[in-house]
Amino acid sequence: MFVDSVTLQMVKEFLGERTTGRLFNSRHGTALCNQQLNTVMRWATKRLGLKAATMHSFRHGRISLLVSLGVSSKVVQEQVGHQNKRTTFKYTHKEESELRDMMDRIGASCTQKPTLYADLVAGSSGQQSS
């Protein structure tokens, strides 16, 4: 899986010295379930001033963004793990301006609002944040 350099740096900081195990765990050290992930996503999108979203919403958005940027259908299909390109392209439904706005706001939040990232890291270590 390929990720951008900013995301990779954030993951490295989040992991610290850890080299094995899950990327994200529950407060009890167990695997996160979809409901827990979606709860975190709703919290984060609210903090960013975005419309509430789930992990699957971001999957749709990623596909739409890749398509709007002119990424080849084969590459998009491989990135999201679909067997059939028809499955991939039924997810492309956002307007380019809406996607760019969303991605710009997420990127700006990662660089200009370090408290969101810090809150996520603190939350992963069992601390409560407001």
For residues 48 and 90, the model is more confident at 48
Answer yes or no: pTM beyond 0.85: no
CB contact set of 26 (below 8 Å; sequence gap of 6+) = 32, 36
Note whether residue 14 is domain-resident.
no
- Give the pLDDT score at 129: 43
Instruction: Write a three-state SS string for the chain.
Output: CCCCHHHHHHHHHHHCCCCCCCCCECCCCCECCHHHHHHHHHHHHHHCCCCCCCHHHHHHHHHHHHHHCCCCHHHHHHHHCCCCHHHHHCCCCCCHHHHHHHHHHHHHHHHHCHHHHHHHHHHHCCCCCC
Note whether residue 103 is domain-resident.
yes
**Domain span at 119:** 35-124
Note whether residue 30 is domain-resident.
no
- Give the pLDDT score at 127: 46
pLDDT category, 123, cuts 50, 70, 90? low
Q: Which two tokens stand for residue 69?
A: 């940027």
Q: For the chain, how many structural domains are there in total?
A: 1
Average pLDDT in the 38-66 region? 84
Note whether residue 95 is domain-resident.
yes
| pLDDT greater than 80 at residue 49 | yes
Note whether residue 24 is domain-resident.
no
Average pLDDT in the 73-88 region? 81
The pLDDT tens digits for 19-30 are 888 888 888 888
Q: Among candidates 43, 63, 56, which has minimal Cα distance to 103?
A: 63
Note whether residue 44 is domain-resident.
yes
Average pLDDT in the 28-43 region? 86
- Give the pLDDT score at 128: 45
Note whether residue 28 is domain-resident.
no
| pLDDT greater than 80 at residue 83 | yes
Contact indicator for 55, 37 with CB cutoff of 8 Å: yes
Share of the chain above pLDDT 70, in %: 75
Note whether residue 129 is domain-resident.
no
